Amino acid sequence: MTRMNKHKTLFFFILFYNYTEIIIKFNFRGDMSISEKTYRKIEVDPSARNAVLSGHPWIFSGKIKSSLNDYSNGEIVFVGCEGKFLGTGFVSPKNSIAVRMISRERVELSKHFFRKRFQDLNFMKRKFLSQDTDMYRLCFSESDFLPGLIVDIYGRIAVIQTNCAGMMNLREIIAETLMETLLLEGVIDRTDADTYKIEHFDTGLPSNLFWGREQQMPVVCMENGIKFYVDLIRGHKTGFYLDQRENREIIKKASTGVNVVNICSYTGGFSIYALSAGCRSVTSVDTSKTALSILQQNVELNDLSVKKSIIVAGDMFDYILNEDLSVFDIIIVDPPAFAKHTTERERAIGAYKTINSAIMKKAKRGALIFTSSCTSVVSMDMFAEIITKAIRDSRKDVNIVKRTSLPADHSSLVNFNETEYLKSFLLHVN
Ligand SMILES: C[S@@+](CC[C@H](N)C(=O)[O-])C[C@H]1O[C@@H](n2cnc3c(N)ncnc32)[C@H](O)[C@@H]1O
């Protein structure tokens, strides 16, 4: 090839390369919601770059070099550092968590983006659920790369919670896309008033927004073939403690023919599983009379023995400290979160020590103890230390049958433990 021909070939190659790149970019943008110029840029300090690159989804206000006042609440931005693009995020200009990362790519938060994300999440989450389960967590905010968005599916209804202004702004599009993608009848938003305040999102919105067909409460949903009445408007969390699903299956395996006590039972998740395994009796303790009344309805709903289901409306501390726990073969204790902030952590640790020490002392030989902590400011290590001390003080030979965390539909991130709130031990008194 002559020198001239070589140049010509190179020229056409460059032309062809650029042309195909334009076509690829165009198509890619069309399919993947990739956007190039849609959002304003925000500059972050180099000291925040490593954390973002290693997948941490938050950038604190002290690490933002741009003037945060120039951004609107919940604005979508392209995050950059010293000329390098880091990803797409939401800005909360007045919060200490100033930016929440959505993607490492230049994404456009369109209906198309959410449709693809919800389809992918649903495909992945359903892999770990039985066919006869229709209530599960579709999206767990930062852990599923949709920061500040929780979506729980209950049959043909989704319950959402938005925990950052960026997601609050996009609720309309989220609800519509959820209904279209998953063929739902309705979407309920249970974002609470405190979260609106924290996010400076002052819209005067009612606490429960609703899209689609209004539903009568409670609805009947199914978990591993067991039916539950769930109140999606007044119930705890989004209606049900979906996070204990895998632990309930473990308890079911040990429940046949034995006496079970379920302390902090709520509407009877563990109790109904124990009854369906043919336990001799299950005593359910809770302060909420409403939850206990639904529990008894859940027994009937599944054609289980109401006689075997004993209800105690009362306080867990009173019950644990004053009742004879040696009559039970399985003792379950799943208290509510004892603290929301690190400032209350010591109080929470004290409460866990009190209940776990008493249970360990009172449990009979051969008993199984299932103990949980859903307090996010008490880590697995801290909880393990509490359990270790309770075992030591009981002077009994207690071993760990299983140490569990959240179920597969509650994803987490490697270097972000804020979403890993649930930790449990199944212990055996030898
Ligand atoms: C984390 S939920 C339990 C969820 C349950 N294990 C399930 O699988 O559905 C905690 C429960 O403790 C109850 N509770 C809160 N304070 C209590 C107390 N002092 N004594 C007894 N129950 C209490 C709440 O009403 C709630 O139902």
Q: How far apart are the C-alpha atoms of 91 and 17, rounded to whole Å? A: 37
Predicted pLDDT at 210: 83
Is the CB of residue 316 below 6 angstroms from any atom belonging to ligand 1? yes
SS3 content of the chain, % helix, strand, coil (to 5): 40, 25, 35
Domain range summary for the chain, segments of one domain joined by +: 40-103, 111-212, 241-429
Pick the CATH number of 111-212 from 3.30.70.3460, 3.10.105.10, 2.60.40.1480, 3.30.750.80: 3.30.750.80
User: Does the pLDDT value for residue 33 go beyond 50?
Assistant: no
Q: Which tokens in the block code for residue 189?
A: 């938003």
| Mutation choice for ligand 1 from 229, 264, 322, CB with most ligand atoms inside 8 A | 264
Compute CA distances 214 → 50, 134, 173, 239, whole Å: 46, 19, 18, 16
Predicted pLDDT at 206: 60
- Alpha carbon of 167 to ligand 1 centroid (Å): 30
Domains 40-103 and 111-212 share a fold: no
Ligand 1 atom at minimal distance to the Cα of residue 262: 6
User: Does the pLDDT value for residue 55 go beyond 70?
Assistant: yes
Is the CB of residue 288 below 6 angstroms from any atom belonging to ligand 1? yes
Q: What is the pLDDT of residues 219-228, one digit of tens each?
A: 999 999 999 9
Is the CB of residue 228 below 6 angstroms from any atom belonging to ligand 1? no
Is the CB of residue 287 below 6 angstroms from any atom belonging to ligand 1? yes
The arithmetic mean of pLDDT across residues 203-207, rounded, is 62
Burial 38-49 (b: 16+ CB within 10 A, else e): ebeebebeeebb
Predicted pLDDT at 120: 98
| Mutation choice for ligand 1 from 223, 236, 246, 287, CB with most ligand atoms inside 8 A | 287
The arithmetic mean of pLDDT across residues 103-128, rounded, is 97
Q: Rg of the Cα trace of the chain?
A: 26
Ligand 1 atom at minimal distance to the Cα of residue 288: 25
Ligand 1 atom at minimal distance to the Cα of residue 316: 20
Q: What is the pLDDT of residues 68-85, one digit of tens each?
A: 999 999 999 999 999 999
CA 270 to chain centroid: 19
User: Does the pLDDT value for residue 159 go beyond 60?
Assistant: yes
**Percent of residues, the chain, with pLDDT higher than 90:** 84
pLDDT band for position 5 (cuts 50, 70, 90):
low
Provide the pairing of β-strand 76-81 with 84-91.
antiparallel
User: Does the pLDDT value for residue 9 go beyond 90?
Assistant: no
The arithmetic mean of pLDDT across residues 283-309, rounded, is 98
Predicted pLDDT at 418: 86
According to DSSP, the residues that pair with 424 across neighbouring strands are: 372, 404
CATH number of the 40-103 domain: 2.30.130.10
| Mutation choice for ligand 1 from 236, 286, 292, 372, CB with most ligand atoms inside 8 A | 286
- Alpha carbon of 120 to ligand 1 centroid (Å): 33
Kindly state the DSSP code that residue 363 receives in the 8-state scheme: P
Is the CB of residue 266 below 6 angstroms from any atom belonging to ligand 1? yes
CA 371 to chain centroid: 19
Pick the CATH number of 241-429 from 3.40.50.150, 3.10.580.10, 3.30.2230.10, 3.20.20.70: 3.40.50.150
**Could you give the dihedral angle defined by the CA atoms of residues 242, 120, 418 and 49, in that order, rounded to the nearest 10 degrees?**
180
The arithmetic mean of pLDDT across residues 406-417, rounded, is 93
Predicted pLDDT at 4: 45
User: Does the pLDDT value for residue 161 go beyond 60?
Assistant: yes
User: Does the pLDDT value for residue 353 go beyond 60?
Assistant: yes
Q: What is the pLDDT of residues 236-265, one digit of tens each?
A: 999 999 999 999 999 999 999 999 999 999
Q: Whose CA is nearest to atom 15 of ligand 1?
A: 336
- Alpha carbon of 269 to ligand 1 centroid (Å): 11
Is the CB of residue 286 below 6 angstroms from any atom belonging to ligand 1? yes
Mean pLDDT of all residues in the chain? 91
Among 40, 36, 33, 71, smallest CA distance to 173 is for: 33
The number of residues in the chain equals 430
